[in-house]
Structure 1
Protein backbone atom coordinates (compact mmCIF):
# COMPACT_ATOMS: atom_id res chain seq x y z
CA UNK A 1 0.00 0.00 0.00
CA UNK A 2 1.34 3.43 -0.96
CA UNK A 3 1.10 5.97 1.85
CA UNK A 4 -0.66 9.20 0.74
CA UNK A 5 1.79 12.02 0.11
CA UNK A 6 -0.63 14.73 1.12
CA UNK A 7 -3.63 15.38 3.33
CA UNK A 8 -6.43 17.51 1.90
CA UNK A 9 -8.51 19.51 4.39
CA UNK A 10 -11.61 21.39 3.34
CA UNK A 11 -12.95 24.18 5.47
CA UNK A 12 -15.51 22.94 7.99
CA UNK A 13 -18.89 24.17 6.83
CA UNK A 14 -22.23 24.79 8.48
CA UNK A 15 -23.70 27.03 11.16
CA UNK A 16 -21.47 25.73 13.97
CA UNK A 17 -18.24 27.51 14.75
CA UNK A 18 -16.89 30.56 16.53
CA UNK A 19 -16.93 34.22 15.59
CA UNK A 20 -14.24 36.64 16.78
CA UNK A 21 -14.64 40.39 16.21
CA UNK A 22 -17.42 39.72 13.67
CA UNK A 23 -15.18 37.39 11.65
CA UNK A 24 -15.91 33.68 11.29
CA UNK A 25 -12.96 31.48 12.25
CA UNK A 26 -11.63 29.02 9.71
CA UNK A 27 -11.71 25.50 11.13
CA UNK A 28 -9.91 22.47 9.73
CA UNK A 29 -9.93 18.90 11.01
CA UNK A 30 -7.94 15.84 9.97
CA UNK A 31 -10.18 12.85 9.22
CA UNK A 32 -9.64 9.46 7.54
CA UNK A 33 -11.53 10.84 4.53
CA UNK A 34 -8.99 13.65 4.19
CA UNK A 35 -6.09 11.19 4.05
CA UNK A 36 -5.03 10.87 7.69
CA UNK A 37 -5.97 11.25 11.32
CA UNK A 38 -4.71 13.01 14.44
CA UNK A 39 -1.90 11.03 16.01
CA UNK A 40 -0.80 9.44 12.74
CA UNK A 41 2.95 8.95 12.54
CA UNK A 42 4.10 11.18 9.70
CA UNK A 43 6.28 14.25 9.19
CA UNK A 44 4.84 17.45 7.76
CA UNK A 45 7.06 18.56 4.89
CA UNK A 46 4.93 21.54 3.88
CA UNK A 47 1.48 22.91 4.68
CA UNK A 48 -0.21 25.49 2.47
CA UNK A 49 -3.47 27.35 3.04
CA UNK A 50 -5.19 28.16 -0.26
CA UNK A 51 -7.32 31.29 -0.07
CA UNK A 52 -9.09 32.92 -3.00
CA UNK A 53 -8.85 36.71 -3.28
CA UNK A 54 -10.26 38.49 -6.33
CA UNK A 55 -9.66 42.18 -6.99
CA UNK A 56 -12.90 44.04 -7.68
CA UNK A 57 -11.63 47.59 -8.26
CA UNK A 58 -8.47 49.65 -8.08
CA UNK A 59 -7.23 50.63 -4.65
CA UNK A 60 -8.72 53.90 -3.42
CA UNK A 61 -7.55 53.78 0.22
CA UNK A 62 -4.32 55.24 1.58
CA UNK A 63 -2.93 51.82 2.50
CA UNK A 64 0.54 51.33 1.07
CA UNK A 65 0.18 47.55 0.93
CA UNK A 66 -2.66 45.08 1.21
CA UNK A 67 -1.70 42.30 3.62
CA UNK A 68 -3.75 39.30 4.65
CA UNK A 69 -2.92 38.14 8.16
CA UNK A 70 -3.61 34.60 9.35
CA UNK A 71 -3.52 33.96 13.11
CA UNK A 72 -3.67 30.60 14.86
CA UNK A 73 -6.29 30.58 17.64
CA UNK A 74 -4.69 28.90 20.66
CA UNK A 75 -7.65 29.12 23.05
CA UNK A 76 -10.21 26.31 23.24
CA UNK A 77 -12.53 28.25 25.51
CA UNK A 78 -13.82 31.01 23.29
CA UNK A 79 -17.61 31.53 23.27
CA UNK A 80 -19.55 31.08 20.06
CA UNK A 81 -19.30 34.81 19.34
CA UNK A 82 -17.00 37.28 21.07
CA UNK A 83 -15.54 40.75 20.61
CA UNK A 84 -11.97 41.08 21.89
CA UNK A 85 -9.74 44.04 22.62
CA UNK A 86 -6.27 44.14 21.08
CA UNK A 87 -4.72 42.84 24.30
CA UNK A 88 -7.27 40.05 24.63
CA UNK A 89 -6.83 39.11 20.98
CA UNK A 90 -3.05 38.80 21.42
CA UNK A 91 -3.58 36.44 24.37
CA UNK A 92 -5.72 33.96 22.42
CA UNK A 93 -3.81 33.93 19.10
CA UNK A 94 -0.28 33.17 17.95
CA UNK A 95 1.90 32.55 14.89
CA UNK A 96 0.71 35.43 12.66
CA UNK A 97 1.51 34.92 8.99
CA UNK A 98 1.27 37.81 6.51
CA UNK A 99 0.88 37.64 2.73
CA UNK A 100 0.80 40.73 0.53
CA UNK A 101 -1.88 40.82 -2.14
CA UNK A 102 -0.81 42.08 -5.54
CA UNK A 103 -3.28 43.44 -8.09
CA UNK A 104 -1.54 41.43 -10.81
CA UNK A 105 -1.97 38.22 -8.82
CA UNK A 106 -5.72 38.08 -8.35
CA UNK A 107 -7.10 34.62 -7.66
CA UNK A 108 -5.91 31.76 -5.47
CA UNK A 109 -3.32 32.79 -2.89
CA UNK A 110 -0.90 30.36 -1.20
CA UNK A 111 -0.07 30.98 2.45
CA UNK A 112 2.70 28.90 4.02
CA UNK A 113 1.48 27.45 7.33
CA UNK A 114 4.08 24.70 7.67
CA UNK A 115 5.26 25.56 11.17
CA UNK A 116 1.73 26.33 12.35
CA UNK A 117 0.46 22.94 11.18
CA UNK A 118 3.46 21.09 12.62
CA UNK A 119 2.76 22.64 15.99
CA UNK A 120 -0.94 21.87 15.77
CA UNK A 121 -0.47 18.21 14.84
CA UNK A 122 2.07 17.85 17.65
CA UNK A 123 -0.38 19.12 20.26
CA UNK A 124 -2.52 16.71 22.27
CA UNK A 125 -6.20 17.33 22.81
CA UNK A 126 -6.62 19.67 19.82
CA UNK A 127 -8.44 17.97 16.98
CA UNK A 128 -9.23 21.23 15.14
CA UNK A 129 -7.01 23.91 13.69
CA UNK A 130 -8.74 27.28 14.06
CA UNK A 131 -7.51 30.29 12.13
CA UNK A 132 -8.47 33.96 12.23
CA UNK A 133 -8.08 35.82 8.91
CA UNK A 134 -7.81 39.60 8.92
CA UNK A 135 -7.30 42.12 6.14
CA UNK A 136 -7.87 45.75 7.11
CA UNK A 137 -7.06 47.13 3.64
CA UNK A 138 -9.09 44.68 1.57
CA UNK A 139 -12.07 46.87 0.68
CA UNK A 140 -11.14 46.64 -3.00
CA UNK A 141 -10.73 42.85 -2.82
CA UNK A 142 -13.21 40.05 -2.43
CA UNK A 143 -11.82 37.50 0.01
CA UNK A 144 -13.65 34.18 -0.36
CA UNK A 145 -14.08 32.95 3.21
CA UNK A 146 -17.77 32.36 3.84
CA UNK A 147 -19.80 33.59 0.90
CA UNK A 148 -23.41 34.17 1.91
CA UNK A 149 -24.78 32.83 -1.33
CA UNK A 150 -22.55 29.74 -1.49
CA UNK A 151 -21.54 28.94 2.06
CA UNK A 152 -21.74 25.18 1.78
CA UNK A 153 -20.02 22.00 0.70
CA UNK A 154 -20.58 22.86 -2.97
CA UNK A 155 -18.75 26.18 -2.72
CA UNK A 156 -15.76 25.82 -5.07
CA UNK A 157 -14.06 28.91 -3.67
CA UNK A 158 -13.93 28.08 0.01
CA UNK A 159 -10.44 27.87 1.57
CA UNK A 160 -8.64 24.56 1.85
CA UNK A 161 -5.45 23.28 3.43
CA UNK A 162 -2.99 20.89 1.79
CA UNK A 163 -0.51 19.14 4.07
CA UNK A 164 2.37 17.48 2.21
CA UNK A 165 3.79 14.58 4.20
CA UNK A 166 7.14 12.86 4.07
CA UNK A 167 6.47 9.35 2.67
CA UNK A 168 9.76 8.06 4.11
CA UNK A 169 8.58 8.57 7.69
CA UNK A 170 4.90 7.77 7.22
CA UNK A 171 3.47 4.72 8.89
CA UNK A 172 3.50 1.89 6.40
CA UNK A 173 1.20 -1.08 6.06
CA UNK A 174 2.75 -4.51 5.66
CA UNK A 175 2.65 -5.58 2.03
CA UNK A 176 1.64 -9.00 0.76
CA UNK A 177 2.81 -8.28 -2.78
CA UNK A 178 6.20 -9.37 -4.07
CA UNK A 179 8.30 -6.28 -4.71
CA UNK A 180 11.10 -6.31 -7.24
CA UNK A 181 14.59 -6.39 -5.76
CA UNK A 182 18.09 -7.47 -6.69
CA UNK A 183 17.18 -10.97 -5.47
CA UNK A 184 13.90 -11.33 -7.37
CA UNK A 185 15.65 -12.15 -10.63
CA UNK A 186 13.16 -12.57 -13.47
CA UNK A 187 10.31 -13.52 -11.16
CA UNK A 188 7.01 -11.69 -11.61
CA UNK A 189 7.08 -8.74 -9.21
CA UNK A 190 5.94 -5.17 -8.60
CA UNK A 191 8.46 -2.53 -9.66
CA UNK A 192 8.22 0.78 -7.78
CA UNK A 193 8.04 3.63 -10.29
CA UNK A 194 7.63 7.31 -9.50
CA UNK A 195 5.77 9.58 -11.93
CA UNK A 196 6.54 13.31 -11.67
CA UNK A 197 3.71 15.56 -12.85
CA UNK A 198 6.26 18.31 -13.50
CA UNK A 199 8.16 16.03 -15.86
CA UNK A 200 4.89 15.39 -17.70
CA UNK A 201 4.26 19.13 -17.99
CA UNK A 202 1.16 18.85 -15.80
CA UNK A 203 2.37 21.04 -12.92
CA UNK A 204 0.49 24.05 -14.35
CA UNK A 205 -2.87 22.44 -13.52
CA UNK A 206 -2.16 19.74 -10.91
CA UNK A 207 -1.92 21.23 -7.40
CA UNK A 208 -1.21 18.10 -5.39
CA UNK A 209 0.49 15.75 -5.23
CA UNK A 210 3.66 16.70 -7.12
CA UNK A 211 3.88 13.11 -8.27
CA UNK A 212 3.22 9.58 -7.05
CA UNK A 213 4.36 5.97 -7.23
CA UNK A 214 2.27 4.48 -10.04
CA UNK A 215 4.38 1.28 -10.19
CA UNK A 216 4.27 -1.42 -12.85
CA UNK A 217 4.68 -5.17 -13.21
CA UNK A 218 7.69 -6.94 -14.68
CA UNK A 219 9.13 -10.42 -14.75
CA UNK A 220 8.40 -13.86 -16.12
CA UNK A 221 5.41 -16.15 -15.55
CA UNK A 222 6.83 -19.13 -17.36
CA UNK A 223 8.08 -20.96 -14.25
CA UNK A 224 6.35 -24.06 -12.86
CA UNK A 225 3.17 -23.27 -10.96
CA UNK A 226 1.03 -25.33 -8.64
CA UNK A 227 -2.79 -25.36 -9.17
CA UNK A 228 -3.44 -23.17 -6.11
CA UNK A 229 -1.48 -20.26 -7.60
CA UNK A 230 -3.89 -19.70 -10.47
CA UNK A 231 -6.46 -16.94 -10.05
CA UNK A 232 -9.09 -18.71 -12.19
CA UNK A 233 -9.70 -22.26 -13.43
CA UNK A 234 -9.63 -20.86 -16.98
CA UNK A 235 -6.03 -19.70 -16.55
CA UNK A 236 -5.05 -23.13 -15.19
CA UNK A 237 -6.60 -24.92 -18.18
CA UNK A 238 -4.97 -22.55 -20.69
CA UNK A 239 -1.58 -23.00 -19.02
CA UNK A 240 -1.85 -26.81 -19.16
CA UNK A 241 -2.84 -26.61 -22.84
CA UNK A 242 0.08 -24.30 -23.55
CA UNK A 243 2.60 -26.68 -21.98
CA UNK A 244 1.25 -29.96 -23.40
CA UNK A 245 0.75 -28.58 -26.92
CA UNK A 246 3.93 -26.46 -26.87
CA UNK A 247 2.10 -23.24 -27.77
CA UNK A 248 4.89 -20.70 -27.46
CA UNK A 249 2.64 -17.79 -28.50
CA UNK A 250 0.52 -18.14 -25.36
CA UNK A 251 3.13 -17.12 -22.80
CA UNK A 252 1.39 -15.84 -19.66
CA UNK A 253 2.15 -12.24 -18.66
CA UNK A 254 3.06 -10.73 -15.33
CA UNK A 255 0.18 -8.33 -14.79
CA UNK A 256 -1.45 -6.16 -12.09
CA UNK A 257 -3.77 -8.09 -9.77
CA UNK A 258 -4.65 -5.31 -7.36
CA UNK A 259 -4.96 -1.55 -7.72
CA UNK A 260 -5.68 1.32 -5.36
CA UNK A 261 -7.04 4.79 -5.92
CA UNK A 262 -5.24 8.12 -5.58
CA UNK A 263 -6.48 11.59 -4.67
CA UNK A 264 -5.74 14.47 -7.01
CA UNK A 265 -6.26 18.20 -6.48
CA UNK A 266 -6.30 20.27 -9.67
CA UNK A 267 -7.60 23.41 -11.32
CA UNK A 268 -10.99 23.00 -12.98
CA UNK A 269 -12.96 25.37 -15.24
CA UNK A 270 -12.82 29.06 -14.27
CA UNK A 271 -9.99 28.39 -11.78
CA UNK A 272 -12.19 26.29 -9.52
CA UNK A 273 -10.40 23.76 -7.35
CA UNK A 274 -11.38 20.11 -7.74
CA UNK A 275 -10.41 17.23 -5.48
CA UNK A 276 -11.12 13.82 -6.96
CA UNK A 277 -10.35 10.24 -6.00
CA UNK A 278 -9.22 8.48 -9.16
CA UNK A 279 -9.64 4.68 -9.21
CA UNK A 280 -6.95 2.19 -10.25
CA UNK A 281 -4.11 4.70 -10.28
CA UNK A 282 -1.60 2.67 -8.25
CA UNK A 283 -0.44 -0.89 -8.88
CA UNK A 284 -0.38 -2.59 -5.46
CA UNK A 285 0.15 -6.21 -6.40
CA UNK A 286 1.40 -8.13 -9.42
CA UNK A 287 1.06 -11.76 -10.34
CA UNK A 288 0.47 -14.35 -13.01
CA UNK A 289 -3.31 -14.52 -13.63
Structure 2
Protein backbone atom coordinates (compact mmCIF):
# COMPACT_ATOMS: atom_id res chain seq x y z
CA UNK A 1 0.00 0.00 0.00
CA UNK A 2 1.35 3.40 -1.01
CA UNK A 3 0.54 6.52 1.00
CA UNK A 4 1.59 10.14 0.93
CA UNK A 5 2.11 12.35 3.96
CA UNK A 6 2.14 16.11 3.66
CA UNK A 7 3.79 18.27 6.34
CA UNK A 8 2.07 20.51 8.83
CA UNK A 9 3.82 23.81 8.14
CA UNK A 10 4.36 26.11 11.13
CA UNK A 11 4.05 29.53 9.55
CA UNK A 12 4.79 31.51 12.72
CA UNK A 13 7.31 29.08 14.14
CA UNK A 14 10.90 28.37 13.33
CA UNK A 15 11.53 26.41 11.24
CA UNK A 16 8.50 26.52 8.91
CA UNK A 17 8.90 22.91 7.83
CA UNK A 18 8.34 20.12 8.47
CA UNK A 19 6.32 17.97 10.84
CA UNK A 20 4.59 14.88 9.46
CA UNK A 21 1.56 13.36 11.16
CA UNK A 22 0.70 9.67 10.84
CA UNK A 23 -2.41 7.77 11.83
CA UNK A 24 -1.91 5.13 14.56
CA UNK A 25 -3.00 2.48 12.04
CA UNK A 26 -0.04 3.28 9.77
CA UNK A 27 2.53 3.32 12.56
CA UNK A 28 1.87 -0.36 13.29
CA UNK A 29 2.71 -1.44 9.74
CA UNK A 30 6.02 -2.55 8.26
CA UNK A 31 7.72 0.14 6.14
CA UNK A 32 8.82 -1.29 2.80
CA UNK A 33 10.02 1.96 1.24
CA UNK A 34 10.01 5.65 2.15
CA UNK A 35 11.26 8.69 0.26
CA UNK A 36 11.21 12.36 1.20
CA UNK A 37 10.59 14.56 -1.86
CA UNK A 38 11.86 18.15 -1.88
CA UNK A 39 11.40 20.66 -4.69
CA UNK A 40 14.46 22.77 -5.56
CA UNK A 41 13.94 26.20 -7.09
CA UNK A 42 15.35 26.85 -10.59
CA UNK A 43 18.84 28.28 -11.15
CA UNK A 44 20.14 30.33 -14.08
CA UNK A 45 23.53 28.65 -14.14
CA UNK A 46 24.88 25.31 -12.98
CA UNK A 47 25.27 25.49 -9.23
CA UNK A 48 26.46 23.15 -6.50
CA UNK A 49 23.78 22.74 -3.86
CA UNK A 50 24.19 21.23 -0.39
CA UNK A 51 20.91 19.66 0.65
CA UNK A 52 20.55 18.97 4.38
CA UNK A 53 17.84 17.17 6.32
CA UNK A 54 18.06 17.94 10.04
CA UNK A 55 16.16 16.18 12.82
CA UNK A 56 14.64 18.56 15.35
CA UNK A 57 14.97 18.06 19.09
CA UNK A 58 12.88 19.46 21.95
CA UNK A 59 13.63 23.08 22.79
CA UNK A 60 14.31 22.09 26.41
CA UNK A 61 16.99 19.60 25.40
CA UNK A 62 20.55 20.73 26.10
CA UNK A 63 22.98 21.29 23.28
CA UNK A 64 22.15 21.67 19.59
CA UNK A 65 18.50 21.79 18.56
CA UNK A 66 19.30 19.79 15.43
CA UNK A 67 21.01 16.58 14.44
CA UNK A 68 21.83 15.74 10.85
CA UNK A 69 19.86 12.98 9.15
CA UNK A 70 20.98 13.32 5.53
CA UNK A 71 23.40 15.51 3.62
CA UNK A 72 23.67 15.52 -0.18
CA UNK A 73 25.84 17.41 -2.65
CA UNK A 74 23.89 18.13 -5.83
CA UNK A 75 24.96 19.76 -9.08
CA UNK A 76 21.86 21.65 -10.10
CA UNK A 77 21.47 22.97 -13.64
CA UNK A 78 17.71 23.07 -14.07
CA UNK A 79 16.10 26.34 -15.11
CA UNK A 80 12.69 24.87 -14.37
CA UNK A 81 13.42 23.55 -10.90
CA UNK A 82 13.30 19.89 -10.03
CA UNK A 83 12.16 17.34 -7.48
CA UNK A 84 14.83 15.61 -5.38
CA UNK A 85 14.12 12.39 -3.47
CA UNK A 86 15.93 11.28 -0.30
CA UNK A 87 15.79 7.78 1.18
CA UNK A 88 13.82 8.15 4.41
CA UNK A 89 13.06 4.54 5.36
CA UNK A 90 15.39 4.32 8.36
CA UNK A 91 14.14 7.61 9.82
CA UNK A 92 10.50 6.64 9.39
CA UNK A 93 11.04 3.23 10.99
CA UNK A 94 12.53 4.95 14.03
CA UNK A 95 9.60 7.38 14.21
CA UNK A 96 7.12 4.50 14.09
CA UNK A 97 8.97 2.66 16.86
CA UNK A 98 9.43 5.81 18.97
CA UNK A 99 6.68 8.33 18.09
CA UNK A 100 7.85 10.64 20.89
CA UNK A 101 11.12 11.16 18.95
CA UNK A 102 9.27 12.72 16.00
CA UNK A 103 9.72 16.45 16.53
CA UNK A 104 9.88 17.14 12.82
CA UNK A 105 12.71 18.02 10.45
CA UNK A 106 14.30 21.08 8.94
CA UNK A 107 15.15 21.12 5.23
CA UNK A 108 17.56 23.45 3.48
CA UNK A 109 19.45 23.42 0.20
CA UNK A 110 22.03 26.20 0.07
CA UNK A 111 23.94 27.13 -3.07
CA UNK A 112 27.45 28.63 -3.09
CA UNK A 113 25.95 32.12 -2.52
CA UNK A 114 23.98 31.05 0.55
CA UNK A 115 20.58 31.02 -1.19
CA UNK A 116 18.17 28.39 0.08
CA UNK A 117 16.66 26.68 -2.97
CA UNK A 118 14.42 24.24 -1.09
CA UNK A 119 10.73 25.08 -1.12
CA UNK A 120 9.43 24.30 2.35
CA UNK A 121 6.66 26.87 2.71
CA UNK A 122 5.22 27.51 -0.80
CA UNK A 123 4.85 31.12 -1.86
CA UNK A 124 2.96 32.64 -4.76
CA UNK A 125 2.92 30.33 -7.77
CA UNK A 126 4.41 27.47 -5.72
CA UNK A 127 1.23 25.61 -4.80
CA UNK A 128 1.72 21.85 -4.78
CA UNK A 129 5.50 22.11 -4.40
CA UNK A 130 5.74 21.55 -0.64
CA UNK A 131 7.79 18.58 0.63
CA UNK A 132 6.01 15.26 1.05
CA UNK A 133 6.74 11.70 2.08
CA UNK A 134 6.08 8.81 -0.28
CA UNK A 135 5.65 5.69 1.84
CA UNK A 136 5.00 2.08 0.91
CA UNK A 137 3.94 -0.23 3.74
CA UNK A 138 3.36 -3.98 3.72
CA UNK A 139 -0.16 -5.11 2.91
CA UNK A 140 -2.17 -6.45 5.82
CA UNK A 141 -3.99 -9.75 5.45
CA UNK A 142 -7.73 -9.18 5.26
CA UNK A 143 -9.63 -12.31 6.19
CA UNK A 144 -13.25 -12.81 5.34
CA UNK A 145 -15.29 -15.88 4.48
CA UNK A 146 -18.36 -14.23 3.03
CA UNK A 147 -19.00 -14.08 -0.72
CA UNK A 148 -15.36 -14.01 -1.80
CA UNK A 149 -15.84 -15.61 -5.20
CA UNK A 150 -13.14 -17.70 -6.84
CA UNK A 151 -9.47 -16.77 -7.04
CA UNK A 152 -7.29 -18.43 -9.67
CA UNK A 153 -3.80 -18.12 -11.12
CA UNK A 154 -2.16 -18.69 -14.50
CA UNK A 155 -1.77 -22.41 -13.76
CA UNK A 156 -5.40 -22.94 -12.79
CA UNK A 157 -7.63 -25.32 -14.79
CA UNK A 158 -10.79 -23.66 -13.45
CA UNK A 159 -13.30 -22.87 -16.22
CA UNK A 160 -15.81 -21.00 -14.05
CA UNK A 161 -15.82 -17.23 -13.52
CA UNK A 162 -12.71 -16.42 -11.53
CA UNK A 163 -10.48 -13.54 -10.46
CA UNK A 164 -6.97 -13.67 -11.92
CA UNK A 165 -3.90 -11.70 -10.82
CA UNK A 166 -2.68 -8.90 -13.05
CA UNK A 167 0.04 -6.37 -12.23
CA UNK A 168 -0.07 -3.07 -14.09
CA UNK A 169 3.38 -1.51 -14.59
CA UNK A 170 3.17 2.24 -15.32
CA UNK A 171 6.90 2.43 -16.07
CA UNK A 172 6.47 -0.18 -18.81
CA UNK A 173 3.83 2.11 -20.34
CA UNK A 174 6.28 5.02 -20.26
CA UNK A 175 4.02 6.94 -17.84
CA UNK A 176 6.84 8.72 -15.98
CA UNK A 177 4.42 11.39 -14.73
CA UNK A 178 3.14 8.92 -12.14
CA UNK A 179 5.25 9.03 -8.97
CA UNK A 180 3.59 6.27 -7.00
CA UNK A 181 2.67 3.56 -7.25
CA UNK A 182 4.99 2.58 -10.11
CA UNK A 183 3.04 -0.68 -10.35
CA UNK A 184 0.02 -2.16 -8.63
CA UNK A 185 -2.13 -5.29 -8.56
CA UNK A 186 -5.17 -4.59 -10.73
CA UNK A 187 -6.53 -8.17 -11.25
CA UNK A 188 -9.13 -9.14 -13.86
CA UNK A 189 -12.12 -11.46 -14.33
CA UNK A 190 -12.38 -14.36 -16.75
CA UNK A 191 -14.33 -17.62 -17.09
CA UNK A 192 -17.68 -19.09 -17.93
CA UNK A 193 -21.03 -18.51 -16.27
CA UNK A 194 -22.63 -21.93 -16.44
CA UNK A 195 -26.13 -23.33 -16.02
CA UNK A 196 -25.92 -23.08 -12.23
CA UNK A 197 -26.49 -19.32 -12.53
CA UNK A 198 -29.99 -19.82 -13.98
CA UNK A 199 -31.56 -19.62 -10.52
CA UNK A 200 -29.84 -16.32 -9.79
CA UNK A 201 -30.49 -14.77 -13.22
CA UNK A 202 -33.51 -16.69 -14.61
CA UNK A 203 -34.64 -13.96 -17.01
CA UNK A 204 -31.18 -13.51 -18.52
CA UNK A 205 -30.80 -17.28 -18.87
CA UNK A 206 -34.17 -17.78 -20.57
CA UNK A 207 -33.80 -14.81 -22.92
CA UNK A 208 -30.43 -16.17 -24.00
CA UNK A 209 -31.90 -19.61 -24.78
CA UNK A 210 -34.84 -18.03 -26.62
CA UNK A 211 -32.25 -16.63 -29.05
CA UNK A 212 -33.50 -13.07 -28.68
CA UNK A 213 -31.51 -10.79 -31.00
CA UNK A 214 -28.52 -9.26 -29.22
CA UNK A 215 -29.07 -11.26 -26.06
CA UNK A 216 -26.25 -12.73 -24.03
CA UNK A 217 -25.98 -14.93 -20.99
CA UNK A 218 -24.50 -13.95 -17.66
CA UNK A 219 -20.99 -12.52 -18.04
CA UNK A 220 -17.99 -12.90 -15.76
CA UNK A 221 -17.44 -9.39 -14.50
CA UNK A 222 -16.12 -7.47 -11.45
CA UNK A 223 -18.69 -7.39 -8.66
CA UNK A 224 -16.53 -5.45 -6.22
CA UNK A 225 -13.79 -2.93 -6.93
CA UNK A 226 -11.64 -0.67 -4.79
CA UNK A 227 -9.65 2.54 -5.36
CA UNK A 228 -5.92 3.20 -5.16
CA UNK A 229 -4.09 6.28 -3.93
CA UNK A 230 -1.94 7.86 -6.60
CA UNK A 231 0.76 10.54 -6.65
CA UNK A 232 1.37 12.21 -9.99
CA UNK A 233 2.61 15.38 -11.64
CA UNK A 234 0.15 17.70 -13.34
CA UNK A 235 1.07 19.84 -16.36
CA UNK A 236 2.56 22.48 -14.02
CA UNK A 237 4.92 19.98 -12.36
CA UNK A 238 2.85 20.18 -9.20
CA UNK A 239 2.31 17.07 -7.10
CA UNK A 240 -1.26 15.79 -6.97
CA UNK A 241 -2.30 13.23 -4.38
CA UNK A 242 -5.63 11.70 -5.27
CA UNK A 243 -7.73 8.58 -4.88
CA UNK A 244 -8.65 6.96 -8.20
CA UNK A 245 -11.82 4.82 -7.92
CA UNK A 246 -12.43 1.43 -9.51
CA UNK A 247 -8.79 0.51 -10.08
CA UNK A 248 -8.58 -2.89 -8.32
CA UNK A 249 -10.83 -5.91 -8.90
CA UNK A 250 -11.58 -7.39 -5.47
CA UNK A 251 -14.21 -9.93 -6.49
CA UNK A 252 -15.60 -11.48 -9.66
CA UNK A 253 -19.04 -12.91 -10.33
CA UNK A 254 -21.64 -13.56 -13.00
CA UNK A 255 -24.17 -10.88 -13.86
Q: Structure 1: state its 5+ residue gaps.
A: none
State yes or no: 1:185 paired with 2:158.
yes
Label 1:37 to 1:129 Cα distance change in 2 as closer, same or farther (>3 A): farther
Among candidates 110, 114, 118, match of residue 93 of structure 2 = 118
| 1:9 aligned residue | 5
Structure 1 residues 225, 56: CA separation in 2 closer, same or farther (over 3 Å shift)? closer
1:117 positional shift? 1.2
**1:99 aligned partner:** 72
Name the structure 1 match of 2:50.
Answer: 67
Structure 1 match to 2:140: 171
TM-score if structure 2 supplies the norm length? 0.82
User: What is the total number of aligned residue pairs between the two structures?
Assistant: 247
Instruction: Judge conservation of contact 1:56–1:140 (CA < 8 Å) in 2.
Output: no
Q: CA deviation at 1:46?
A: 1.9
Deviation for aligned residue 1:147: 3.1
How far apart, in 2, do the equivalents of 1:53 and 1:104 lie? 11
Residues 55 and 140, structure 1, Cα contact 8 Å, conserved in 2: no
Q: Secondary structure at the match of 2:208?
A: helix
Q: Is the alpha carbon distance of 1:55 and 1:265 closer, same or farther for their aligned partners in structure 2, counting shifts above 3 Å?
A: same
Larger relative contact order (CA 8 Å, sep ≥ 6): 1
> For residues 40 and 46 of structure 1, do their structure 2 counterparts lie closer, same or farther at Cα, with a shift above 3 Å needed?
same
The corresponding residue for 1:278 is 244
- Distance in 2, Cα, partners of 1:172 & 1:95: 37
Aligned: 1:207 with 2:207: no
**TM-align CA RMSD:** 3.0
Q: CA distance change for structure 1 residues 58 and 141 in 2, over 3 Å: closer, same or farther?
A: farther
Residue 120 (structure 2) pairs with residue 145 (structure 1): yes
- How far apart in 2 are the matches of 1:38 and 1:93? 26
Structure 2 gap ranges (5+): none
Task: Determine helix, strand or coil for the equivalent of 1:237.
Answer: helix
